[in-house]
Amino acid sequence: MRSPTPSVFLLGLGAYVPERRLTNDDLSQIVDTSDEWIRTRSGIAERRIASPEENASDMGTRAAERAIAQAGIDKADIDLVIVATTTPDTPIPSTACHIQRKLGLRTDIPAFDITAACSGFIYLLQIANHMLRAGNYQHALIIAAEKISSIVDWQDRTTCVLFGDGAGAAVVSKCDTPYVGILGNVLGADGTKGDMLACRLRTEPAPANSAGLPVGTHTVSMNGKEVFKNAVRVMSQSCRSVLGKCGVSTDDLALIIPHQANFRIIDAIAEELKIDKSKVMMNLERYGNTSAASIPIALEQAFTEGRIKNGDKILLVAFGGGLTWGATLLHWYQPAQA
């Protein structure tokens, strides 16, 4: 268990999804699939698709502006920017540097990207937690932004129906109130299982498509069944591990916010942990799997809907390619409400 102070907590949240909706029926015009198959196998009804001009940094910037506004701080107060993305605008500059520029943040601060696929936001929380506690920083801006539509193979029905674009952000800050904010965090990775969910250079020229969907140089491939089994196993283990470390039981939880990949994975974890479904946040029906952005988008929605109040114990848990996984236990705290 960590020392009681300083505490590191989420001062502001923001989310952004592109305007364009791609429904299951739209997809059935592109590949051999149906609304019924997608809903019953995954729970997804529609997803958002970024416009050709809209990059990860544009979506991340919008989410970050909202997080800074909600935090009630000035953008000049941001001391650190970290972005999780598997779809950076460019390898260099990093998406964090693009966002720093677009927001007009100070230049005496670090800005960098990390890649941990769908687990990216949990990795960001751990990095920000340690950098704030150890360093000379007060406010970190963490952003998960994904234009997954640009790496989806729109001819592969086994993957293209699952993903969507979007971004989520948080201002993560330091305070002297003991035992609030991030109570514990566990992370894991297993590179020996990297082939299960990968993004590789296309071996053939990208096909033109008539649906106005992005055609990139890389494509995602996945062994869905194996990923599913591993997801249930390691997400359940991560939850148990972080709860055990913090001495908190599942009964104490107000809400669990899992990575939004498949409602059957989420139901299996809730069952495994014996957590009532009313305490499980799910919004994948509207957005599909937005990779690293899925947890902060769902967290922001839960907060906006009034499902989170000061003092609540909130468990975030993710799983993704790499393989990577992790869980964070939060004691919800916002000084304005305290």
CB atoms within 10 A of CB 286: 17
* Residue closer to ligand UT7 (CB basis): 70 or 159: 159
Enzyme catalytic residues? 118, 259, 289
By the rule CB under 6 A, 158 interacts with ligand UT7: yes
Instruction: Choose, by CB under 6 A, the member of 63, 78, 83, 227 that binds ligand UT7.
Output: 227
- For strands 80-84 and 139-146, give the pairing: parallel
Binding mask 181-220 for ligand UT7 (x = CB under 6 A): ----------------x-----------------------
Distance CA 273, CA 243 (A): 11
Does 161 interact with ligand UT7 (rule: CB under 6 A)? yes
Q: Are 120 and 316 in contact (CB under 8 A)?
A: no
* Residue 32: φ, ψ to 5°: -80, 85
Separation between Cα atoms, residue 154 and residue 161, nearest integer Å: 9
CB of 34 to ligand UT7, least distance (A): 6
**Calpha distance 175→177 (Å, rounded):** 6
Q: Is 86 in the site for ligand UT7 (CB under 6 A)?
A: no
- C-alpha atoms less than 13 angstroms from C-alpha of 204 in its C-beta half-sphere: 4
Residue 188 CB, nearest distance to ligand UT7 (Å)? 15
Q: Is 96 an interacting residue with respect to ligand UT7 (CB under 6 A)?
A: no
What is the smallest separation between the CB atom of 64 and ligand UT7, expressed in angstroms?
23
- Of the candidates 48, 47, 85, 93, the one whose C-alpha atom is nearest the C-alpha of residue 64 is 85
One of 6, 93, 216, 224 touching ligand UT7 (CB under 6 A): 224
42 forms part of the interface with ligand UT7 (CB under 6 A) = yes
**Residue 287: which H helix or E strand, with range?**
helix 284-287
Sign of the torsion formed by the C-alpha atoms of 238, 242, 247 and 251: negative
When the beta carbons of 7 and 219 are compared against ligand UT7, the nearer one is 219
Rounded least distance, CB 110 to ligand UT7, Å: 28
Interacting residues with ligand UT7 (CB under 6 A): 33, 37-38, 41-42, 118, 157-158, 161, 197, 224-225, 227-228, 231, 261-262, 265, 289, 320
